Amino acid sequence: MKKPWRVTVAVVGLFAGMASPLLKAAGSADWLAMVALGMALVALFLGVLKLWSSPVACLGWLLMTIASIGVSAVFTQPLWMSVFGEVRTDCQVIDEWEVERDRAPSYDVSKVRCGDRVVSYKPYQSASEYIGDVGERTSLVFDRTGLINPVRPSDLTTTGAWALPGVALLGLLFIAFCATWPAEPGKPKVEQEFL
């Protein structure tokens, strides 16, 4: 594998990892999100280690992976909805039920009618603003592309506008560092004398 290909593999791994939370938010693409995340981890790991084989590269890969995927998981969906979202204020909660799970906290799902559109709303995060009781009027933000489920207007944040490019830039700088740093010299071979 030549050095330009190693850099390409590492960069593709970085951006695939950052895109996986957006695919997860799409709901119907859970399997694609897991495939993208797995491929990203392997590609990034192989790309970084082939560029600069060192324990520091392993630690850097681990920190960069946690930071890029963690920041993406928190800020990708709100940033996407800030750009591609459309606020609907003509919504009314028409039904509500609780989903119980064995290994995770339970959550409420609400059926909401916005004009002629009926959707099931699941809170984006545990701290999301309560949508309201059955019969109450409310507002939701819909994705104009249809990729992501609706969210509450209070879930939108502009922090992702600088956090996502910031973590991507740090990842690219780390990859550039690994690509340009001289390889560690090998240990000198010790010749043994035979008697």
Higher pLDDT, 132 or 127: 132
Reported as a pLDDT band with limits 50, 70 and 90, residue 187 is very low
Helices H / strands E in the chain, number of each: 4, 4
Q: Give residue 83's pLDDT band: very low, low, confident or very high (50, 70, 90).
A: confident
What are 96-109's pLDDT values in tens digits? 888 877 777 777 88
Question: SS3 of 139, please?
Answer: strand
Exposure string (b/e) for 109-120, b if CB count within 10 Å is 16 or more? ebebebeeeebe
